[in-house]
Amino acid sequence: MSAAPIGIFDSGVGGLSVLRALRALLPAESLVYVADQGHVPYGARPMAEIQAFSEAITRFLLEQDAKLIVVACNTASAAALHFLRQTFAGVPFVGMEPALKPAAEQTESGVVGVLATPATFQGALYASVLERFAGGVQVLQDTCPGLVAQIEAGDLQGAETRRILHSALAPMLAQGADTVVMGCTHYPFVIPLIREIGGEGLRVIDPAPAVARQVRRVLMERGLLAGGEKKAGVRYYTSGSVQAFDLRLSALLGEGGSSLPLAWDGLRLV
Ligand code: DGL
């Protein structure tokens, strides 16, 4: 057993969609969440930058005694997960990958859409996912330019968010897509709007519950699960505005948490 926290990070509020699933599945696990909003969005950044940010955030989380690190960011997983596992040998990491496997299994039309960021699509991880799971289905992709910034700004239903999603989804629907994958952890927060645009028949896949189950598997394998039933706490940190983060936390998770500030000192988080 281990009462040590699970560390989770994302470029911003996106990882809260994974934290939500973790809290539901493993309420006794205490969590430490880092939103690197001082650098969001990551999606168009060079791989080396994302690796440097991810390394520093991991160091910070390990200083908080994290027993496992969840890279709750498809972009950081694509750019840095392999690098982090090499740099921090022995530390258990759970990352994200676009959920093409369930999408390919569930589609009836044989046409699947993936919404992610440019860095996720460019990474070797995505190429490997395509090779492993996309056999026999047509995969359509869109980077939804500006959507992460809209969600970071708290606009989940406005005209601009609707325009970005319509621009991504309309061509996919026209080509017969009946399943769409949330390949960015920010995007589950606009699933209601995606359903409005795509219709109730559109299958939307959010990988967060599967990621939470993987975290449970890894903790069980290593004997690191927290004991007891009592709901544990969460500490939130942001390298951006704590006031803005707290507003998003309330809007997205209905939680009244109060986040703590982090600052970048070169490539160290303090
Ligand atoms: N939410 C992250 C992802 O899953 C990053 C989005 C971004 O910062 O561009 O890719």
Question: ∠58-64-67 over CA atoms, to 5°?
Answer: 70
What is the per-residue pLDDT across 113-172, written as a single tens digit (0 to 9) for each? 999 999 999 989 999 999 999 989 999 999 999 999 999 999 999 999 999 999 999 999
Under the phi-then-psi rule, with left for phi > 0, alpha for psi from -120 to 50, and beta for the rest, what region is 176? Answer: left
**Percent above pLDDT 70 for the chain:** 100
The H or E element spanning position 19 is helix 16-25
Q: Which of 142, 185, 211, 252 to mutate to test the pocket of ligand 1 (most atoms within 8 A of CB)?
A: 185
Token output for 132: 């492993």
Beta strand residue intervals within the chain, DSSP E? 6-10, 31-35, 68-71, 93-94, 111-115, 138-142, 179-182, 203-205, 234-238, 260-261, 264-265, 268-269
Instruction: Confirm or reject: Cβ of 17 under 6 Å from ligand 1.
Output: no
Instruction: Confirm or reject: Cβ of 54 under 6 Å from ligand 1.
Output: no
Nearest ligand 1 atom to the CA of 43 is: 9
CA-CA distance, 189 to 153, in Å (whole number)? 12
The answer on pLDDT for 8 being more than 90 is: yes
CA-CA distance, 74 to 81, in Å (whole number)? 10
Residues 6+ apart with CB under 8 A from 159: none
Q: Which of 47, 73, 252 to mutate to test the pocket of ligand 1 (most atoms within 8 A of CB)?
A: 73
What is the per-residue pLDDT across 45-81, written as a single tens digit (0 to 9) for each? 999 999 999 999 999 999 999 999 999 999 999 999 9
Q: Specify the residue with its C-alpha closest to ligand 1, atom 9.
A: 43
Instruction: Confirm or reject: Cβ of 188 under 6 Å from ligand 1.
Output: no
Output phi, psi for 111, to 5 deg.
-120, 125
What is the per-residue pLDDT across 186-232, written as a single tens digit (0 to 9) for each? 999 999 999 999 998 999 999 999 999 999 999 999 999 998 888 99
Nearest ligand 1 atom to the CA of 184 is: 4
Please indicate whether residue 73 is annotated as part of the active site. Answer: yes
For ligand 1, the distance from its centroid to the CA atom of residue 120, given in whole angstroms, is 8
pTM over 0.85: yes
Instruction: Confirm or reject: Cβ of 207 under 6 Å from ligand 1.
Output: no
Domains by residue range for the chain, with CATH: 6-96+209-261 (3.40.50.1860), 100-206 (3.40.50.1860)
Please indicate whether residue 144 is annotated as part of the active site. Answer: no
DSSP for residue 225 = P
Place of tokens 């005694």: 65
Residue among 65, 2, 1, 56 nearest 32 (CA): 65
For ligand 1, the distance from its centroid to the CA atom of residue 1, given in whole angstroms, is 32
Q: Output the CA–CA distances (angstroms, integers) from residue 148 to 64, 163, 192, in the order listed.
A: 28, 13, 16
CA-CA distance, 262 to 270, in Å (whole number)? 6
